[in-house]
Structure 1
């Protein structure tokens, strides 16, 4: 059919048609006469059918107007018309309908107010007794709706007002029959609201309220049973509605509600429903879980709504037992808990309600809740099972809420359970990944914030159980890993929770007596570095934490809660600066924060604060690590003076921190910290660092070098180290084996550590000024340290450590005592500007010589020589310091100092620096030293005057000669090295001494050295013969009688030693004979000596000896017997060439002697000696003996 066209040939919109219909209905109802008789009975039929819900508002308005008109007309035919027409709704249906639709009052153009007004007009029709009460209650409800809007109205509050109105109505009627009919009608209307969850939910509440007013237990049980049997469990909203119904009903009928729940579970209906559902394998599990979830919720609401005094007796045996019975299922007798999140959520919600019910009871404090630990364990299982990559359901939040309520109940949780709850909940929330942006981002954010608030409430409830500094620390320790997390969002969350806990602690702080806040430093130290976190929000939370902690300290000191401290309040002003992106501003702010902390922190808390901030030096967030360095140095500078006793602990912490990082700024910070500590407690810092294990690792070395920053501090540190190095004995003697002949020398630890420490400080370039100031003391102390560690071993434990390290990376430095001292002296010289000395000894091998027992003395000599050549200006003070040590108890130190001073006398620098006189005096004073080496070196030093100051020898001649002659008579040993040194020294000086200074000692010297001519030791033969030559040379023209006699006495040995096996002795003999020639007053002999005995010229010994003997017998015939007797002595010489030369010498003497001289010779003795030589194993000796025998014929 063709469509009927309207205006403009277009269909009217549906909204326009509806508006026109509403206006028309209201116009007809209010203006057309006698229409009330037509509309009144029929409009009522449209009131209760759900399909007309959209027209309720105009319908209610029209009905209200019609009812008022009929009341004004006196018509009272409502009841008769109701009875006559079965289509008209009953008063119970009207009441239920209008109440339910009023629960959502602003829908449909304000149907709530319209429904309530209609209900008000119909009060007489509902029940005769309701008029007076409704006259006051309904207008107030309508007024409340007029005052609110859809946005401002609280639905929960509004529903509570309606339920209160219903309870009031039921109380006024107070008719069990009427109440039963109303509840029956409400139950009938339930299916009508399928698909309208809010209205149906409210209707359930109305049913519960109505049943609560019923006095008949049968009616209550019957309706509750019907509700359980007919509920649509597959709908989520149904669960909450049915549970609310049971809860409200339980206010008056607790026993009936609980009994009906148990009956239902045991009933065939429940079993059949479960059985039917189990047929459908895909649906069975979820459907059954929904039924169980609803029942669990019912128990929760029953516990929450029932009278508190009745709940406690039933909560464990009847409520919780059944809840958990429904939650778990038995499979083959084994209890299996569900994994359905909806059922878990129902259980958690019910646990919350049960816990709230217990908490709300007046007897809660005395109630021993035996289920508490088990419930907490269940909640923690749920929390741990929640995923960490997303937050989609409120299960996590609700489980924490349940734990919060449970924590407040008795008995208290065990410590381990408390820790598990804290750790588990923190991990579940802190580790959540940040939610991505999306359409439901706001909902997810709201859920996250609710979850965080639940966590905060749980932690504060746990804290409330232990409101002590220790309890607070336990909480913060659980948060610590998250506060230091490498992930920014985790740090921000952790700081936020920490701030909440601290605020709670501060708000609830009650100090009954002045007690210390013993862990304040630890807590402040944990939060302080976070003031420089990468995230500005985290920085500000950190400042808030410090702010709360400082006020907590003030509270423990006795200040009132409302007291405001000017210093602490400055933290709030600094919070804004922490948002600044400029790092310099940020770290300056951190410095200011550290100053505030330093001003308010008690002295006893400073060390724990520092040690905690030290931990942050290795923080993965570089900003926090830098901030830690800034704060540490600020605190040390401001408050370091009170840390004397804690220095070892701080040094140990710094060393351990350095071992765990390679960051440059951490190294610098640690060095600066040590410097600041040392500037206030240098002795304690030095002692603490000396206590570090040997060998020093690179980190300890780094800390030592920090002490070289400031020259004045470095000087004091060096003096302390020198004192430590010299305080203890350098070594102790011990026998490694009981039968060992000589004890081992083992280094003592303190001097060894001090030596190593000196090396590290001296290695720092900045120590130069201090080294220059202490140059003499350092040089002398280290030189003597070298001397007393030559041949000294490491302690066994350090030897083992050295061996273990040999297989790994090389040690920073050799720990061997003497080598470490040599290295330190080298470092000192380099830092003191004496590089040439170091290089000179390096080229000469002097450093290696210093390290060995055999070469040490020569090494010292080379060092003195290098110092004289390259560091002359340093010598006066060095010599002064060295002289003061010459009374050392250690022989080796006296030897070293004497060797050094003795060598100085060989350099011209002693004259330039006017050191000669003092050196001579000092050396002369050591002539009687108990150590032979010292006495020997004294003589060497005196003789060195011949090299450095030959012009000064004459002035000191008597003193020098006397000293050296005293050396010849050294009492230690006939062949002592002292005597050898004396002979060498006299040989050097005799040419420079005045002749008259020799006249009185010449004979003594000649006699004293004569035995050395035949010494088994080459050095003694050479030195004595050489000295004899110098004596002869020095006395040319003087002392003829003495010299001639000694020359004649020495002539045979000198001639025979021309065959000495040692070239040096032969050379000395040549020299001596050349020098003796002039003293013999025989030109022929002198000429022969000069001709044949020049150095470097070959010698035909037989020819030379023949010539010499000829001249001797010609000019000195009386010497025949003396010379033969002397030669007989050499017949027994251990040197074969000398044994051969002796009979040759005798033969030539006999050859050139006159027969008249035979009486001088004991022929019998001579023949016996020659006969023995004929048996000599050496052919040459036998041959020479035979030749001599042949020449003796002339004496026959």
Structure 2
């Protein structure tokens, strides 16, 4: 077949490729292939020329032509000369990049042409590259260093990135990559074996490492199909020892990239391919060698830590096979370190604790192989420590060697056996660990509590507990750091086993450093978050520890000042009280600890101290505000994970007192006080005394046996610098005397003595409550009043005479107390004070304060009642002097005062020794009956003027005083009384009355704004006609 004929036939076929029928196109393509079988170069040249000349030929037709070319090239590649091959390559490269968009079939056809041509020449390239490698391996060593970079490696890389027949093609062929890696290995080995290799500066080292890492990263991460990554890691292993040293980031990227490429690869199932298992083992060995070579460059504790940190994510991986490999690599690195350890001076193995903390929890891993590798790591680390301590390399420590025995037992997966073994391992670690490494070990183990493998998390917990028991006494200075880490761990995870582990840890730590733990927890921000509360409650599990904690918290709460004076505003005239943080935190902590049922024995043991301290805490926080920073937190609290307890100082103290009573078995006390509204009263300044009384009453009813020690604890408040605490304790003790239980408990005498001792207190409220308590004996132990009558009366008289109380509240309490006591004391004791009391209370008859009027008038009645039939003349004078006020205050606007007057007048009647007058008082002044005042006053004045006409002047002058009374009804009653007296007196008694003064006074009353007063004044003026 002549060339011209072939060209003509080719042209006809190539023109026919554009036929619209696909079957025709396929037939034309087959004809081109047949032509190429007989005349390959002519056919290829015609196709190349046709595509080059027809740029606008549509891509489906171009694809058909390229397919035909691929067939011809594949079948006749050995027959093509270099010029034809180069032309085909240029064409195929051009076709691949001609379209802007992806046209798969067209571009794939062009690529296939390139591949077909490349197969002919790739072998040549590979042979050339290996040739350079062998040159380096066999050349004289003194020549290798000079030629390694300048000639050998330059030519190797030229081959690798060479142009195939002058056209640069991207290299993806695995065999070519392997050849490059093998050549690099040979060159590096040649350099290392040279006598001057140690000081040779390998300028291309970083570039070669980057190329090897590119190969490694290009390998599929989920399968192991070729030895490329193994060979590339081996090349890196040979490169690492050469100078210069790789930069830190380059080393890190190398380790990270190799681990990423190898660790996750699953081994192929057995039986698939006999070659896979050796390849897997060789690859792992290559990785181990690489890591070992990197470690050898920095054979120090820090260098070891860097390598382990790279392995750490794989050690904690959720996939078992990755953990096994990571622990295996770690064990090999540690063994290498141990075998090459050379200590020229005694230096510390400063990160021993951190490394043991990473490996030791894996002794309980779900995979047996991982467990055993973890023990091997711990075994090597402890021997490394012995080496750093100066022990010989062949020294064998009995305790550390026991790890190898325990290692065999880790084959079994029984949880109880595993955790028992972990405890034994922790004991060995505790024996051999230097004291300065304990804290880093614990902190690392605390991190292990959050391990996704719950077995390892529990193992960390077991080891922490063991270490705290064995070596916890060394940790006092580290307690704040440990407590902070435990709190953070609780915040990170809500897992129940983590919560239990942290609680166990803080409990064990507190058993050895109770004060340090309590102080650290008290330093937590207020309000305590739920995680801090969990740690507080952990201290309530063991009774003896709980008692220590409660005592410490009581000290913290009571010894610091409860508040500080602070002006809320610059222009504020009176300072406000702001709570101090430590007592407030201690109060909240007490509540948390006592909220745990297990704290009951400790609460019972410290019941008196807790009760007294918390009650006094309530008193000294009345009206105390939170610091502004905490007020802001309280407002934000609903959106935060904070504990639900009230942070208001007084409310938190009251709530803590309730928690204490409930935990101490006094539920009835809490409920009784609640029913009586006592808890609410206890929190307010105005109702505090009443709340204390309610609480004392409840204690008497339901917790009587506890009162002796509670009373003893409260006596300490006698010397308190805070008045309110002295007030609270006095109020409580005073209320106790209201019950006969104190007599049964043999407390009466001591209570009386203690209260009497407080009569000189600088605080008027304390003195007032002392009198209340002394008077309460009348209702609590009336049969004991006579025995103490003189003492009681003396105290009451002292209260009446109290001159340091501007509001006279002490005197008021004395009057109320005397009213209760008078009927129970010995007549002889009473007789000596009657006159004094009557004189002292007289001014209060007309007090502006209703309580004073009522109490003084009522007491006057009791004084009269106490001396019925035995009234001395001097006291009779007081009775007569009190008649006018008593009669007029029957019209007092306050019913309680009017009632007191009725009682007092009824009691006065017998002492006036006039039967008809006494009967009148009894008839008209019955309790609960209405009073016709005019009728009663008329009757009374008639009897008075009949029996005591000489009293006219005195009675009238006394009534004149009330013409100016501030109460309208009393002003009206005063002239009315005068009028009835004048009405019933004989005219000859006129000289007793200063008519001029009386008329002037009545004249003024005629101008009174109240019509009733003016009317009574006019009525009285009419009766004065009698004296005309």
The offset of 1:1006, in angstroms, is 1.1
User: Are the aligned partners of 1:327 and 1:337 in contact in 2 as well (CA < 8 Å)?
Assistant: no
Measure, in 2, the Cα distance between the counterparts of 1:379 and 1:1177: 116
Q: 1:550 is matched with which residue: 369, 378, 382?
A: 382
The answer for the alignment partner of 1:380 in structure 2 is 213
SS in 1 for 2:999: helix
Measure, in 1, the Cα distance between the counterparts of 2:911 and 2:989: 25
The answer for the alignment partner of 2:111 in structure 1 is 282
User: Are the aligned partners of 1:1040 and 1:1079 in contact in 2 as well (CA < 8 Å)?
Assistant: no
The answer for the alignment partner of 2:185 in structure 1 is 352
SS in 1 for 2:759: coil
Q: Summarize deviations over 1:109-140 as a string: whole Å, max 9, x none.
A: xxxxxxxxxxxxxxxxxxxxxxxxxxxxxxxx
Measure, in 1, the Cα distance between the counterparts of 2:157 and 2:996: 138
Q: 1:1151 to 1:572 in 2, by over 3 A?
A: same
SS in 2 for 1:732: strand
Measure, in 1, the Cα distance between the counterparts of 2:402 and 2:74: 60
Q: 2:368 is matched with which residue: 526, 531, 536?
A: 536
SS in 2 for 1:746: strand
Q: Summarize deviations over 1:1035-1061 as a string: whole Å, max 9, x none.
A: 112233123211111111111111111
1:612 aligns with 2:441: no
**Gaps (5+ residues) in structure 2?**
1-72, 95-108
The answer for the alignment partner of 2:782 in structure 1 is 950
The answer for the alignment partner of 2:40 in structure 1 is none
Measure, in 1, the Cα distance between the counterparts of 2:629 and 2:158: 68
Q: 1:278 to 1:927 in 2, by over 3 A?
A: closer
The offset of 1:930, in angstroms, is 0.3
Which structure exhibits the higher relative contact order, with contacts defined as CA atoms closer than 8 Å and separated by 6 or more residues? 2
Q: 2:244 is matched with which residue: 411, 422, 441?
A: 411
Measure, in 2, the Cα distance between the counterparts of 1:575 and 1:358: 43
The answer for the alignment partner of 1:855 in structure 2 is 687
1:683 aligns with 2:683: no
The offset of 1:406, in angstroms, is 1.6
The answer for the alignment partner of 1:500 in structure 2 is 332
1:888 aligns with 2:750: no
The offset of 1:304, in angstroms, is 3.6
1:420 aligns with 2:253: yes
Q: 1:940 to 1:493 in 2, by over 3 A?
A: same
Measure, in 1, the Cα distance between the counterparts of 2:249 and 2:559: 54
The offset of 1:713, in angstroms, is 2.5
SS in 1 for 2:869: coil
The offset of 1:423, in angstroms, is 1.8
Q: 1:453 is matched with which residue: 285, 288, 294?
A: 285
The answer for the alignment partner of 1:308 in structure 2 is 141
User: Are the aligned partners of 2:764 and 2:805 in contact in 1 as well (CA < 8 Å)?
Assistant: no
Measure, in 2, the Cα distance between the counterparts of 1:320 and 1:1066: 124
SS in 2 for 1:884: helix
Q: 1:1189 to 1:809 in 2, by over 3 A?
A: farther
Q: 1:661 is matched with which residue: 488, 493, 512?
A: 493
1:1067 aligns with 2:899: yes
Q: Trace 1:595-610 onto structure 2 (pairs within 5 A).
A: 595-610=427-442
Measure, in 2, the Cα distance between the counterparts of 1:350 and 1:851: 89
Q: 1:636 to 1:377 in 2, by over 3 A?
A: same
The answer for the alignment partner of 1:57 in structure 2 is none
SS in 1 for 2:1008: coil
Residue correspondences, number: 931
User: Are the aligned partners of 2:268 and 2:276 in contact in 1 as well (CA < 8 Å)?
Assistant: no
User: Are the aligned partners of 1:277 and 1:288 in contact in 2 as well (CA < 8 Å)?
Assistant: no
User: Are the aligned partners of 1:329 and 1:337 in contact in 2 as well (CA < 8 Å)?
Assistant: no
The offset of 1:297, in angstroms, is 4.3
What TM-score comes out, normalization by structure 1 length? 0.75
The answer for the alignment partner of 1:623 in structure 2 is 455
User: Are the aligned partners of 2:528 and 2:643 in contact in 1 as well (CA < 8 Å)?
Assistant: no
The offset of 1:917, in angstroms, is 0.9
Structure 1 residues 515-524 or 732-741, which shifts more? 732-741
The answer for the alignment partner of 2:948 in structure 1 is 1116
Q: 1:1075 to 1:282 in 2, by over 3 A?
A: same
The answer for the alignment partner of 1:593 in structure 2 is 425
SS in 1 for 2:665: coil
User: Are the aligned partners of 1:1043 and 1:1079 in contact in 2 as well (CA < 8 Å)?
Assistant: no
The answer for the alignment partner of 2:1011 in structure 1 is 1179
Measure, in 2, the Cα distance between the counterparts of 1:952 and 1:336: 120
User: Are the aligned partners of 2:129 and 2:156 in contact in 1 as well (CA < 8 Å)?
Assistant: yes
Measure, in 2, the Cα distance between the counterparts of 1:1057 and 1:630: 83
1:699 aligns with 2:537: no
Q: 2:502 is matched with which residue: 667, 670, 674?
A: 670
1:865 aligns with 2:694: no
Measure, in 2, the Cα distance between the counterparts of 1:399 and 1:847: 80
The answer for the alignment partner of 1:390 in structure 2 is 223
Q: 1:1184 to 1:397 in 2, by over 3 A?
A: same
1:908 aligns with 2:740: yes
Q: Summarize deviations over 1:483-531 as a string: whole Å, max 9, x none.
A: 1112212211111111111111111111111111111111111111100
Measure, in 1, the Cα distance between the counterparts of 2:804 and 2:169: 102
Structure 1 residues 850-859 or 701-710, which shifts more? 701-710
Q: Summarize deviations over 1:43-101 as a string: whole Å, max 9, x none.
A: xxxxxxxxxxxxxxxxxxxxxxxxxxxxxxxxxxxxxxxxxxxxxxxxxxxxxxxxxxx
Q: 1:386 to 1:1183 in 2, by over 3 A?
A: farther
Q: Trace 1:20-31 onto structure 2 (pairs within 5 A).
A: none
The offset of 1:928, in angstroms, is 0.5
Structure 1 residues 920-929 or 650-659, which shifts more? 650-659
Measure, in 1, the Cα distance between the counterparts of 2:666 and 2:943: 62
Structure 1 residues 269-278 or 956-965, which shifts more? 269-278
The answer for the alignment partner of 1:1131 in structure 2 is 963
Q: 1:1012 to 1:303 in 2, by over 3 A?
A: same
Q: 1:640 is matched with which residue: 472, 486, 500?
A: 472
User: Are the aligned partners of 1:297 and 1:350 in contact in 2 as well (CA < 8 Å)?
Assistant: yes
The answer for the alignment partner of 2:880 in structure 1 is 1048
The offset of 1:341, in angstroms, is 4.5
Q: Trace 1:1097-1116 onto structure 2 (pairs within 5 A).
A: 1097-1116=929-948
Aligned-residue CA RMSD (Å): 2.5
User: Are the aligned partners of 2:366 and 2:413 in contact in 1 as well (CA < 8 Å)?
Assistant: no
The answer for the alignment partner of 1:731 in structure 2 is 563
Q: 2:626 is matched with which residue: 794, 797, 805?
A: 794
Structure 1 residues 700-709 or 412-421, which shifts more? 700-709
The offset of 1:685, in angstroms, is 2.1
Q: 1:387 to 1:852 in 2, by over 3 A?
A: farther
**Gaps (5+ residues) in structure 1?**
1-232, 239-266
Measure, in 2, the Cα distance between the counterparts of 1:293 and 1:401: 19
Measure, in 2, the Cα distance between the counterparts of 1:295 and 1:275: 24
User: Are the aligned partners of 2:699 and 2:707 in contact in 1 as well (CA < 8 Å)?
Assistant: yes
Q: 1:309 to 1:460 in 2, by over 3 A?
A: same
1:992 aligns with 2:850: no
Between structure 1 and structure 2, the one with the greater Rg is 1
SS in 2 for 1:635: helix
SS in 1 for 2:275: helix
User: Are the aligned partners of 2:357 and 2:441 in contact in 1 as well (CA < 8 Å)?
Assistant: yes
Q: 1:798 to 1:329 in 2, by over 3 A?
A: farther
The answer for the alignment partner of 2:814 in structure 1 is 982
The answer for the alignment partner of 2:649 in structure 1 is 817
What TM-score comes out, normalization by structure 2 length? 0.87
SS in 1 for 2:393: coil
User: Are the aligned partners of 2:267 and 2:280 in contact in 1 as well (CA < 8 Å)?
Assistant: no
The offset of 1:810, in angstroms, is 6.1
User: Are the aligned partners of 1:278 and 1:284 in contact in 2 as well (CA < 8 Å)?
Assistant: no
User: Are the aligned partners of 2:288 and 2:332 in contact in 1 as well (CA < 8 Å)?
Assistant: yes
The answer for the alignment partner of 1:517 in structure 2 is 349
